[in-house]
């Protein structure tokens, strides 16, 4: 779960990390009040769950009240399209108004768990304020990586090494020790999958400041962080994806017109690939999970039908824990409740498959049964050819 | 022969008094697995379907001589359950639980290095040695005994693959689902090394998906060390970058972890990659026939040729 910048900074400030003074505003008037109180110049920053805001015009500097009014009016309500938002972009409902800062040097710091080594990884660079992936590709020697054993924790030598590699001076190094310790503590105590400070600036006042902060919390750990769970903001998300989440269905909308419903993430991805191979395009990823019941199947089916782009549906279930008769009952119930005006191909295999097939056959619904995956692919290819 | 589980497996089920725990313990028992104990703190002294329940893993090891554990407890308690089993001297822990916080798993991995315990999973279907022992939640009847080892990151996709193998007369030595999380206890590489030492296994199937670089590492190891035919499959060719596709580990970031890159790496290392899941069984029958004709039973699984007994072949690991 991603946090907004202002939420991330509030969290990090609680760990003694230095963040610029700032206020959140949802309209021009309250934004101006905030700017007046902070004093000019100010930075006005769109609060959306996507990187690349600066390039898309979502971050602006204002030297006085007039510029602030102009910046607020242009950012609030704008639809931001960045490399990370996708084509439809996302609407800006909130801005963070922050005190302007005189920057002497910009660094990059992030802490994240590294899946390959099973350690905590600290990444540092003197090339702050830029696209760090581009720095890593162009000048890999400018990126420092420190691995920390999660059991032993962060040690002074880790910080010392990073301080030397970043070529910090004595004054900076002392502050850097506290800063890194606190950031590491914030990450481990809050189950953060990412804390990225880009840039971490050293100001004319000889202090470090977290100018930007990107934080992602492990959704699986929210049960022990009620305060963070309350920060969830789903306004940017696709309404069908939200609806699916209510029923514990794992749904991602894509661009094609063949809706799919599958049990298991791996099989769901493989089924999307199968549709593509058949010359069609999947409209979604929908994993109903191993423990799905008839009600979940019914909701999954409704969500597929609610997408106007879907012109045909492929249901692919390998019954293990989820039995085929349960699936069949869910499909029949959903089909009865909704008028289906498109071809639906059902392929199922595994536990209680005979009973499942009998239920589908006896329902008098116009369902197309596939005996195996190859048969399903051929039937989808036929249908897609006629769309 | 097989890897990790066999006739000597004495299974303990942590969370046996829960709905899932009881259901799957029963399925494993019916398959032939020796279930010697259950553990649920506070329910020691009771029984579930004839299996004694203990309060701690240490007690289950001492009194019921359990040597393997299957974990089906809710995510907040799963990391603790794994470490308890490892601490009590259990040699193999299979954790089915999905949704364990990543930081818990990092601690578990560090902890396990201090013990001799192997962890499979979490977020996995478990493993099965067909006809002998099942430690997991997969449907038993789709499996048949035979010479093909199966390693996979998925659940139902593995069932699909195994089902097609069985239908084409290709039985399995052991099928193992390593789990879909970013941090798992046993990697593709660990499984490959174990299969290489197993005389029954004479062909391998590797089922991967987008995200990470485990498939690439496995492919390089196969190229350098393994002398048996390997068929690969990668799910997620159509997955959009940056989105998490169900499994926490399945996310394409930057240019790394894409299905296309994995398929290329596998082919470069001599692995036969099947891109059409609908034809997976047929593909395997062709590959295993071409490269090792002696291991294929033929389309009619009822009449295997006489020379397919395990002891007539030795493991073909390169020296």
Comparing CA positions, the residue from B199, B143, B217, B202 lying closest to residue B176 is B143
pLDDT at B258: 87
pLDDT at B251: 59
Q: Are A358 and A318 in contact (CB under 8 A)?
A: no
What span, in angstroms and rounded, lies between the C-alpha atoms of B209 and A32? 50
Measured from the Cβ of residue B63, the count of other Cβ atoms closer than 10 Å reads 12
pLDDT at A234: 83
Chain-chain contact of B163 with A318 (C-beta, under 8 angstroms) = yes
Chain-chain contact of B235 with A273 (C-beta, under 8 angstroms) = yes
Residues of B in contact with A228 (CB under 8 A): none
Q: Are B119 and B78 in contact (CB under 8 A)?
A: no
Q: Are B94 and B67 in contact (CB under 8 A)?
A: no
Hey, what are B34's tokens? Answer: 């020796």
What span, in angstroms and rounded, lies between the C-alpha atoms of B209 and B252? 10
- CA angle, residues A4, A136, A171, in degrees to nearest 5: 70
Hey, what are A139's tokens? Answer: 């000048």
Comparing CA positions, the residue from A306, A217, A293 lying closest to residue A249 is A293
What's the pLDDT tens digit per position in A13-60?
A: 999 999 999 999 999 999 999 999 999 999 999 998 877 788 888 999
pLDDT at A218: 95
Q: Are A89 and B78 in contact (CB under 8 A)?
A: no
Using the Cβ of A287 and the Cβ atoms of chain B, whether some distance falls under 8 Å is answered with yes
Using the Cβ of B159 and the Cβ atoms of chain A, whether some distance falls under 8 Å is answered with yes
What CATH number is associated with residue A167?
A: 3.30.470.20
Comparing CA positions, the residue from A218, A67, A273 lying closest to residue B99 is A218
pLDDT at B300: 42
Using the Cβ of B101 and the Cβ atoms of chain A, whether some distance falls under 8 Å is answered with yes
Q: Is B30 helix (H, G, I), strand (E, B) or coil?
A: helix
Chain-chain contact of A290 with B155 (C-beta, under 8 angstroms) = yes
Instruction: Please count the residue pairs, one from chain A and one from chain B, whose beta carbons lie less than 8 angstroms apart.
Output: 168
Using the Cβ of A151 and the Cβ atoms of chain B, whether some distance falls under 8 Å is answered with yes
Q: What share of chain B is helix, strand, coil (3-state, %, to 5)?
A: 35, 20, 40
**A177 and A82, same domain (yes or no):** no
pLDDT at B231: 97
pLDDT at B308: 38
Please give the average per-residue pLDDT across A73-85, as a whole number. 83
Q: Is B256 helix (H, G, I), strand (E, B) or coil?
A: strand
Using the Cβ of A262 and the Cβ atoms of chain B, whether some distance falls under 8 Å is answered with yes
Chain-chain contact of B180 with A266 (C-beta, under 8 angstroms) = yes
**A96 and A229, same domain (yes or no):** no
Chain-chain contact of B155 with A150 (C-beta, under 8 angstroms) = no
Q: Are A13 and A7 in contact (CB under 8 A)?
A: no
Which secondary-structure segment (H or E) carries B23? helix B19-31
- For B75, list phi and psi in degrees, rounded to 5: -50, -40
Q: Are A16 and A177 in contact (CB under 8 A)?
A: no
Q: Are A369 and A360 in contact (CB under 8 A)?
A: yes
Q: Is B53 helix (H, G, I), strand (E, B) or coil?
A: strand
- For A24, list phi and psi in degrees, rounded to 5: -95, 140
What span, in angstroms and rounded, lies between the C-alpha atoms of A70 and A48? 20
C-alpha distance across the termini of chain A, in Å? 38
What's the pLDDT tens digit per position in A295-349?
A: 888 889 889 988 999 999 999 999 877 788 888 888 888 888 877 788 999 999 9
Q: Are B138 and A152 in contact (CB under 8 A)?
A: no
Res A124 pLDDT > 50: yes
**A139 and A264, same domain (yes or no):** no
Taking each helix axis from N to C end, the angle separating A294-306 and A324-337, rounded to the nearest 10 degrees, works out to: 40
The total of structural domains in chain A comes to 3
**Sequence-ordered list of residues with C-beta below 8 angstroms from that of A329, at least 6 positions apart, any chain:** A294, A297, A359
Q: Which residue of B has its CA nearest to A190?
A: B103
Residues 23-42 of B with CB under 8 A from A: none
Fold of B10-120: Rossmann fold (3.40.50)
Identity of the residue in A220, A267, A375 whose CB atom sits nearest the CB atom of B160: A267
pLDDT at A138: 87
Residues 246-265 of B with CB under 8 A from A: 246-250, 254, 259
What span, in angstroms and rounded, lies between the C-alpha atoms of B167 and B296? 12
Chain-chain contact of A270 with B139 (C-beta, under 8 angstroms) = no
Res A212 pLDDT > 80: yes
What span, in angstroms and rounded, lies between the C-alpha atoms of B75 and A158? 32
pLDDT at B307: 39
The reply to whether domains B10-120 and B138-312 share a CATH topology is yes
Q: Distance, in angstroms, between B161 CA and closest chain A CA? A: 10
**A152 and A178, same domain (yes or no):** yes
Q: Given A100, A123, A148, which residue is the final one in a domain?
A: A100
Residue numbers of the domain that contains A129 = 1-20+103-236
Hey, what are A212's tokens? Answer: 């930007």
Q: Distance, in angstroms, between B76 CA and closest chain A CA? A: 8
Q: Distance, in angstroms, between B307 CA and closest chain A CA? A: 31
Q: Distance, in angstroms, between A160 CA and closest chain B CA? A: 24
| Cα dihedral A305, A310, A315, A321 sign | negative
Q: Distance, in angstroms, between A297 CA and closest chain B CA? A: 16
Q: How confident is the model at residue A233 (pLDDT cuts 50, 70, 90)?
A: confident
Chain-chain contact of A264 with B157 (C-beta, under 8 angstroms) = yes
**A63 and A191, same domain (yes or no):** no
- pLDDT by 10-residue block (mean), chain B, 319 residues: 91 95 94 97 95 97 97 96 97 96 94 93 96 95 95 93 94 95 92 95 94 89 95 91 64 68 94 95 90 49 39 38
- For B317, list phi and psi in degrees, rounded to 5: -80, 135
Identity of the residue in B125, B153, B212 whose CB atom sits nearest the CB atom of A115: B212
Residues of A in contact with B183 (CB under 8 A): 113, 115, 118
pLDDT at B294: 54
What CATH number is associated with residue A279?
A: 3.40.50.261
Test mutation, B143, B189, B209, B238, chain A, max A CBs within 10 A: B238
What CATH number is associated with residue A64?
A: 3.30.1490.20
Q: Distance, in angstroms, between A157 CA and closest chain B CA? A: 20
**A45 and A16, same domain (yes or no):** no
Res A9 pLDDT > 90: yes
Task: Give the 3-state DSSP-derived string for chain A, with helices as H, strands as E and coil as C.
Answer: CECCHHHHHHHHHCCCCCCCCEEEECCHHHHHHHHHHHCCCEEEEECCCCCCCCCCCCEEEECCHHHHHHHHHHHCCCEECCCCCCCCCEECCCEEEEECCCEEEEEEEEEEEECCCCEEEEEEECCCCCCHHHHHHHCHHHEEEEEECCCCCCCHHHHHHHHHHCCCCHHHHHHHHHHHHHHHHHHHHCCEEEEEEEEEEEECCCCEEECCCEEEECHHHHHHCHHHHCCCCCCCCCHHHHHHHHCCCEEEECCCCEEEEECCHHHHHHHHHHHHHCCCCECEEEECCCCCCHHHHHHHHHHHHHCCCCCEEEEEEEECCCCHHHHHHHHHHHHHHCCCCCCEEEEEEECCHHHHHHHHHCCCCCEEEECCHHHHHHHHHHHHHCC
**A166 and A121, same domain (yes or no):** yes
pLDDT at A101: 92
Tokens 């017109």, located at residue: A257
pLDDT at B186: 95
Residues of A in contact with B213 (CB under 8 A): 116
Please give the average per-residue pLDDT across A121-142, as a whole number. 87
Domain boundaries, chain B: 10-120, 138-312
**A294 and A327, same domain (yes or no):** yes
Q: Given A236, A253, A287, which residue is the final one in a domain?
A: A236
Hey, what are A354's tokens? Answer: 């005979």
**A88 and A38, same domain (yes or no):** yes
Pick the CATH number of B138-312 from 3.40.50.720, 3.30.360.10, 3.40.50.261, 3.30.499.10: 3.40.50.261
Identity of the residue in A266, A282, A375 whose CB atom sits nearest the CB atom of B235: A266
Measured from the Cβ of residue B251, the count of other Cβ atoms closer than 10 Å reads 18
Please give the average per-residue pLDDT across A230-236, as a whole number. 86
Catalytic residue list of A: 108, 196
Chain-chain contact of B154 with A266 (C-beta, under 8 angstroms) = yes
Distances (CA, A) of B59 to B80, B293, B311: 16, 49, 39
Task: Give the 3-state DSSP-derived string for B170-226, with helices as H, strands as E and coil as C.
Answer: CCEEEEEECCCCCCCCCCHHHHHHHHHCCCCCCEEEEEEECCCCHHHHHHHHHHHHE
What span, in angstroms and rounded, lies between the C-alpha atoms of B143 and B166? 6
pLDDT at B299: 43
Residues 169-198 of A with CB under 8 A from B: 188, 191, 193
Q: Are B231 and B284 in contact (CB under 8 A)?
A: yes
What span, in angstroms and rounded, lies between the C-alpha atoms of B169 and B165? 6
C-alpha distance across the termini of chain B, in Å? 21
């Amino acid at each position: 779960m991603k946090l907004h910048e202002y939420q991330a900074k509030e969290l990090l400030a609680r760990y003694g990390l230095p963040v610029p003074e700032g206020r959140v505003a949802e309209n021009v008037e309250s934004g101006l009040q905030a700017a007046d109180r902070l004093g000019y110049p100010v930075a006005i920053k769109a609060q959306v769950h996507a990187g690349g805001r600066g390039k898309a015009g979502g971050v602006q500097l204002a030297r006085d009240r007039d510029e602030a009014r102009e910046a607020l009016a242009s950012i609030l309500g704008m639809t931001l399209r960045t490399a990370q938002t996708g084509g439809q972009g996302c609407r800006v409902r909130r801005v963070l108004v922050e005190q302007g800062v005189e920057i002497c040097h910009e660094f990059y710091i992030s802490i994240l768990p590294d899946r390959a080594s099973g350690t905590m990884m600290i990444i540092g660079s003197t090339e702050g304020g830029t696209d760090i992936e581009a720095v890593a590709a162009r000048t890999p020697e400018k990126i420092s990586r420190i691995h920390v054993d999660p059991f032993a924790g962060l040690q002074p030598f880790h910080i010392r090494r990073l301080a030397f590699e970043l070529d910090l001076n004595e004054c900076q190094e002392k502050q850097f020790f506290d800063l890194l310790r606190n950031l590491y503590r914030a990450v481990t105590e809050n189950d953060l999958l990412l804390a990225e400070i880009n840039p971490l600036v050293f100001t004319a006042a000889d202090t470090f400041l977290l100018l930007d902060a990107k934080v992602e919390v492990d959704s699986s750990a929210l049960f022990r962080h009620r305060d963070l769970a309350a920060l969830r903001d789903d306004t940017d998300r696709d309404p069908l994806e939200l609806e699916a989440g209510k029923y514990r269905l794992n749904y991602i909308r894509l661009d094609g017109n063949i809706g799919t419903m599958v049990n298991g993430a791996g099989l769901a991805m493989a089924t999307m690939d199968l549709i593509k191979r058949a010359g069609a395009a999947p409209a979604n990823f929908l994993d109903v999970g191993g423990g799905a019941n008839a009600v979940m199947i019914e909701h999954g089916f409704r969500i597929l039908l609610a997408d106007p782009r879907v012109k045909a549906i492929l249901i692919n279930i390998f019954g293990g824990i989820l039995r085929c008769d349960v699936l069949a009952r869910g499909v029949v119930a959903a089909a009865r409740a909704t008028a289906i005006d498109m071809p639906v191909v059902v392929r199922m295999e595994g536990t209680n498959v005979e009973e499942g097939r009998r239920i589908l056959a006896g329902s008098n619904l116009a369902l197309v049964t596939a005996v195996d995956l190859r048969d399903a692919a051929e039937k989808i290819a036929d249908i897609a050819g006629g769309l | 022969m097989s890897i990790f589980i066999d006739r000597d497996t004495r299974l303990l089920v942590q969370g046996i008094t829960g709905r899932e725990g009881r259901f799957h313990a029963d399925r494993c028992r019916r398959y032939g697995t020796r279930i010697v104990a259950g553990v649920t703190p506070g329910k020691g002294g009771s029984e579930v379907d004839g299996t004694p329940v203990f309060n701690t893993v240490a007690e289950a090891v001492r009194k019921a001589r359990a040597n393997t554990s299957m974990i089906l407890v809710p995510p907040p308690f799963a990391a603790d359950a794994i470490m308890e089993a490892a601490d009590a001297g259990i040699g193999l822990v299979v954790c089915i639980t999905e949704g364990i916080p990543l930081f818990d798993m990092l601690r578990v991995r560090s902890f396990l290095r201090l013990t001799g315990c192997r962890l499979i999973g979490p977020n996995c279907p478990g493993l099965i040695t067909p006809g002998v022992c099942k430690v997991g939640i997969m449907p038993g009847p789709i499996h048949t005994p035979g010479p093909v080892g199966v390693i996979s990151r998925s659940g139902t996709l593995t069932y699909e693959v195994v089902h097609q193998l069985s239908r084409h007369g290709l039985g399995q030595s052991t099928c193992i689902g390593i789990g879909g999380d970013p941090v798992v206890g046993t990697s593709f590489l660990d499984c490959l090394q174990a299969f290489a030492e197993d005389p029954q296994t004479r062909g391998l199937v590797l089922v991967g998906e987008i995200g990470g670089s485990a498939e690439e590492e496995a492919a390089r190891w196969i190229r350098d060390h393994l002398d048996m035919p390997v068929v690969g499959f990668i799910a997620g060719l159509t997955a959009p970058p940056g989105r998490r596709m169900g499994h926490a580990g399945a996310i394409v970031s930057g240019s790394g972890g894409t299905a296309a890159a994995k398929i290329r790496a596998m082919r470069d290392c001599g692995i036969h990659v099947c891109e059409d899941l609908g034809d997976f069984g047929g593909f395997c029958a062709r590959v295993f026939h071409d490269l090792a004709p002696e291991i294929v039973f033929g389309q009619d699984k009822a009449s295997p040729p006489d020379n397919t007994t395990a002891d007539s072949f030795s493991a073909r690991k390169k020296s």
